[in-house]
Amino acid sequence: MARNNAIQIRRGADGSAPSSSLLAGEPLFSTDNSKFYIATSGTDKSWIGAPIRDEDDLDGNSASAVKLATQQSIKAYVDAQVATKDALSELVDTTISSEQSGQMILWDGSNSWDNQSMSGDATLNSSGVLTIASDAVHGTMLNDDVAGHGVEISSNALRVKLNGSSLDRGASGMKIADNGVTNAMLAGSIANGKLVNSDVTISDGSATDDVSLGETLSILGTANEVTTAVTGNTVTIGLPDDVTITGDLIVQGDTVTTNVATVTVEDPLVQYASNNSGNAVDIGFYGKYVASGTKYCGLSWDQNGSTGAEFILYHGNQAAPTTTVDTGGTGYTLSALRLGSIHEATVDGGTY
């Protein structure tokens, strides 16, 4: 009877895979362990593949170091292991026992994390609320042991220290140390009315008025007399181009210079030499003209005339008069006088 064709893979007589006279790439089979090999040289071979098992527990009598597990069996095993390891007590570095509401996990300082309840002056509930017992905080707990900040309580004083400055509360009231309050602490927090000096008093020498902080102080000038202008933090007070003085103007300096084209005087009689004492000055007026140089002419009452006190009409003087007219000055000449008539007068040519 004819046999079916079959391909037989080389194997050893003792059931093990051959290990000599091999050809690289040659398939080999071991009947003693049912493993398939491929020869890599004349004497070496490599095991190819492994049995695949579908066992969810990956344990027991079927556990093997030479079998592969399916994806489903691996997932089932991992899920089963995780499902049984979901408590802190199952961790190797914890000691959990007699759990209570509001407990914390604390390191014991040696080898494990332990569950402990907060006790003493503070307690913690299951919602995380911390409660400090009544009278549990004492002055000694608040002493200034932090640089720049702290609170110190003694039998008769409370001292708060912020940024190196102290705020004391003694029997006589609150006392703030020098430089104890900075601008940043007070910005926008104190009303003007709470200040000892909440306004500024202005005065015109007789009447006064108080300007509260926050109000606007206006500085105004009188029309045609005084002008005012504000630029930045500067108030400028001056005179307008055209000045009108309603009252009297008294100038007590030595010189008044008027650079105007026309001077109009309402007074019909103008007084000169009002401070003349001892008849020490000449009285009159003079003017400057230019004719072959600068010269001066005028009319003055000569208090020291050679024939007695008299008025002198002169011109040509090259020096301007001061308090007296220098009748001996360079160019000094008596002037002619043209009149319509002379009444009740004695005409004397005199000697000059």
- Domain that includes residue 59, residue range: 52-86
- Number of neighbouring beta carbons within 10 Å of residue 98: 7
Task: State the first-to-last Cα distance of the chain, in angstroms, to the nearest integer.
Answer: 193
Query: What is the percentage of the chain residues whose pLDDT exceeds 70?
Result: 81
d(CA 62, CA 84) in angstroms, rounded, equals 22
**Residues 25-54: pLDDT tens digits?**
889 888 888 888 898 998 998 888 777 777
**How sure is the predictor about 3, in pLDDT bands with cuts at 50, 70 and 90?**
low
d(CA 265, CA 248) in angstroms, rounded, equals 14
pLDDT at 204 over 80: yes
d(CA 297, CA 315) in angstroms, rounded, equals 4
Same domain, residue pair 61 and 35: no
Same domain, residue pair 283 and 321: yes
Same domain, residue pair 26 and 81: no
pLDDT at 149 over 60: no
What value does the mean pLDDT take over residues 316-333?
91
pLDDT at residue 119, as a whole number: 82
Same domain, residue pair 348 and 292: yes
Same domain, residue pair 293 and 352: yes
**How sure is the predictor about 160, in pLDDT bands with cuts at 50, 70 and 90?**
low
- Which is more confidently placed, 344 or 146? 344
Note whether residue 215 is domain-resident. Answer: no
57-66, 262-271, 315-324: least confidently modelled range? 57-66
pLDDT at 284 over 80: yes
pLDDT at 174 over 70: no
**Residues 72-114: pLDDT tens digits?**
888 888 887 777 766 777 777 888 888 888 888 888 888 888 8
Note whether residue 257 is domain-resident. Answer: no
Note whether residue 218 is domain-resident. Answer: no
- Which is more confidently placed, 161 or 107? 107
Same domain, residue pair 33 and 77: no
**How sure is the predictor about 151, in pLDDT bands with cuts at 50, 70 and 90?**
low
Note whether residue 4 is domain-resident. Answer: no
Residues 6+ apart with CB under 8 A from 33: none
Note whether residue 112 is domain-resident. Answer: no
pLDDT at 275 over 80: yes
Same domain, residue pair 333 and 302: yes
Dihedral over Cα of 168, 173, 179, 181: its sign: positive
pLDDT at 181 over 80: no
If one counts the domains in the chain, the total is: 4
Same domain, residue pair 21 and 72: no
Note whether residue 16 is domain-resident. Answer: yes
pLDDT at 318 over 80: yes
For 62, 135, 155, 278, the CA distances from 141, given in Å and listed in that order, are 67, 12, 14, 94
pLDDT at residue 335, as a whole number: 93
**How sure is the predictor about 164, in pLDDT bands with cuts at 50, 70 and 90?**
low
Note whether residue 76 is domain-resident. Answer: yes
pLDDT at residue 290, as a whole number: 95
Note whether residue 237 is domain-resident. Answer: no
Looking at 61, 86, 111, the residue that finishes a domain is 86
Biggest CA pair distance of the chain: 200
